[in-house]
């Protein structure tokens, strides 16, 4: 986002509590404070404005903080998520209640407190599997699938670790293809340039955790399904008050019930989706349009039209816990034409902890290919070649091997 703003000829002020933040290297001005301290951000901005700096708007990417953007943009009269939208999209229970009220398809859900309330809800809906999650988190933190009643207590304890609230959300688990969408809105006009199939079948051995292992663009779905999903996410986002801004949707396509909404966030994705997968596949860079929206400029709707349709995939490394003393073959993989990016998250010498959520994944790579079949061959090759030395033993980062080491 910072690089895109620079390319657009805009200056950028970056706020980050981390003094070594990567963004600090690319921005015009770096302010080393925690952006969740909105009063401090506002007073810093006021100082700059009173010194004559022409500041036009605020945005972010990846961080699920619409409430912070809302407060700051409201204060200065910039375009940002409304208080209404940010309240709804940062509490999964409020969000589900609102979507249900609007008649949008969502899984059966209930506010739950303890073992008995989970059992009561499960008995009332009679589905195979249940999902339990905290309402105020992201990145799969605290989310678990429950297949049997004996798993309920542990799932409650796990979810509670991630929330300060005294309740959790239980949902019917909806089987089907999971989709990520990303839509942009300007004065009520919208487009959904982001559309990816998400991959969960390689992470089955993480049960009861539910961890995504990347995805594919373009989607394998047919035009009608894609259109239905886009219509659904666009109308639901508008219903949540998103008029000028971004919405990121988690959708599941149930074989009988059609598309259902798991979640809507009022922000741009992190994790390569808007940054790499969509622009490299379709030629559409909607990060640029997202920046234009927050500084009050007209969106170029024409640029939302795909100019290409390449197959792109991102996958993650799942490094088992222990001391990481070496990594091999990264340079070899970097040289491959099909490899767009490869990045390891852990430093040599660090202690890798067991995976609990998306943020614990050990690294990522992105490949392009002429087809999914060829893409899968490249992915298999990379998982085979890249090795991690954990507690003195060489292991792969393939999620299918995670429990076998």
Ligand X SMILES: Nc1ncnc2c1ncn2[C@@H]1O[C@H](COP(=O)(O)OP(=O)(O)O)[C@@H](O)[C@H]1O
Give the residues lining the site for ligand X (CB under 6 A): 92, 107, 131, 133, 137-141, 143, 171-174, 178, 210, 250, 252, 262-263
Q: Which residues contact 180 (CB under 8 A, 6 or more apart)?
A: 194, 195, 196, 198, 215, 248, 249, 250, 251, 269, 273
Residue 140 or 398 with smaller CB distance to ligand X: 140
Residue 137 touches which member of Mg ion, ligand X, none, C-beta under 5-8 Å by kind: ligand X
Nearest residue (CB) to ligand X, 141 versus 230: 141
Minimum CB–partner distance for residue 316 and Mg ion (Å): 16
**Interface with Mg ion (CB under 5 A), residue from 263, 325, 345, 376:** 263
Of 200-259, binders to Mg ion (CB under 5 A) are 250
Which of ligand X, Mg ion, none binds 202 (CB below 5-8 Å, type-dependent)? none
Which are the contacts of 196, defined by CB distance < 8 A and separation ≥ 6?
179, 180, 181, 215, 216, 217, 219, 273, 277, 278
CA–CA gap between residue 97 and residue 247 (Å, rounded): 18
Residue 140 partner contact from Mg ion, ligand X, none using kind-dependent CB cut-offs of 5 to 8 Å: ligand X
Least Å from the CB of residue 34 to Mg ion: 24
Q: Which is nearer to ligand X, 167 or 173 (CB)?
A: 173
Binding site partner of 261, from ligand X, Mg ion, none, Cβ cut-off 5-8 A by kind: none
Of the two residues 1 and 210, which places its CB atom closer to Mg ion in the complex? 210
Give whichever of 64 and 289 is closer to ligand X, judged by the CB atom. Answer: 64
111 DSSP β-pair partners:
169
The site partner of 178 among ligand X, Mg ion, none (C-beta below 5 to 8 Å per kind) is: ligand X
Is residue 16 part of the contact set for Mg ion (CB under 5 A)?
A: no
CB of 111 to ligand X, least distance (A): 15
CB-wise, 357 or 376, nearer to Mg ion?
357
Q: Residue 83 CB, nearest distance to ligand X (Å)?
A: 20
Per CB under 5 A, which of residues 368..397 are in contact with Mg ion?
none
Minimum CB distance to ligand X smaller for 21 or for 129: 129
Summarize as ranges the residues that interact with Mg ion (CB under 5 A): 250, 263
């Amino acid at each position: 986002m910072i690089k895109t703003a620079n390319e657009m000829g805009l200056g950028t002020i970056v706020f980050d509590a981390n003094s070594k933040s990567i963004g600090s290297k690319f921005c015009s001005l770096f302010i080393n404070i925690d952006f969740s301290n909105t009063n401090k951000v506002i007073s810093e901005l006021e100082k700059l404005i009173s010194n004559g700096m022409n500041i036009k708007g605020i945005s972010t990417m990846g961080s699920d903080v619409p409430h912070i953007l809302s407060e700051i943009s409201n204060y200065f009269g910039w375009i940002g998520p409304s208080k209404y939208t940010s309240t709804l999209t940062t509490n999964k229970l409020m969000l589900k209640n609102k979507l249900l009220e609007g008649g949008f398809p969502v899984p059966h859900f209930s506010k739950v407190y303890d073992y008995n309330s989970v059992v009561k809800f499960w008995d009332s809906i009679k589905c195979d599997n249940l999902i339990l999650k905290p309402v105020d988190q992201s990145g799969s933190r605290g989310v678990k699938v429950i297949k049997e009643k004996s798993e309920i207590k542990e799932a409650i304890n796990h979810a509670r670790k991630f929330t300060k609230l005294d309740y959790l959300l239980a949902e019917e688990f909806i089987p089907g293809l999971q989709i990520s969408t990303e839509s942009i809105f300007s004065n009520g006009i919208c487009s959904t340039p982001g559309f990816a199939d998400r991959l969960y079948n390689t992470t089955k051995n993480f049960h009861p955790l539910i961890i995504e292992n990347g995805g594919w663009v373009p989607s394998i779905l047919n035009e009608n399904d894609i259109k239905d999903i886009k219509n659904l996410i666009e109308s639901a986002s508008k219903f949540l008050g998103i008029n000028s801004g971004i919405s990121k949707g988690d959708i599941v396509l149930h074989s009988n019930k059609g598309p259902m909404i798991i979640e809507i966030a009022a922000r741009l994705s992190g994790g390569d989706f808007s940054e790499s997968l969509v622009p490299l596949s379709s030629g559409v860079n909607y990060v640029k349009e997202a920046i234009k929206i927050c500084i009050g400029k007209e969106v170029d709707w024409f640029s939302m039209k795909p100019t290409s349709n390449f197959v792109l995939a991102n996958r993650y490394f799942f490094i088992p816990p222990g001391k990481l003393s070496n990594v091999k073959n990264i340079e070899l993989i970097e040289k491959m034409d099909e490899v767009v990016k490869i990045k390891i998250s852990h430093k040599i010498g660090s202690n890798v902890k067991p995976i609990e959520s998306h943020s614990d994944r050990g690294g990522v790579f992105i490949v392009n290919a002429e087809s999914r079949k060829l893409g899968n061959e490249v992915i298999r090759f990379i998982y085979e070649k890249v090795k991690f030395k954990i507690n003195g033993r060489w292991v792969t980062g393939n999620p299918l091997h995670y429990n076998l080491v």
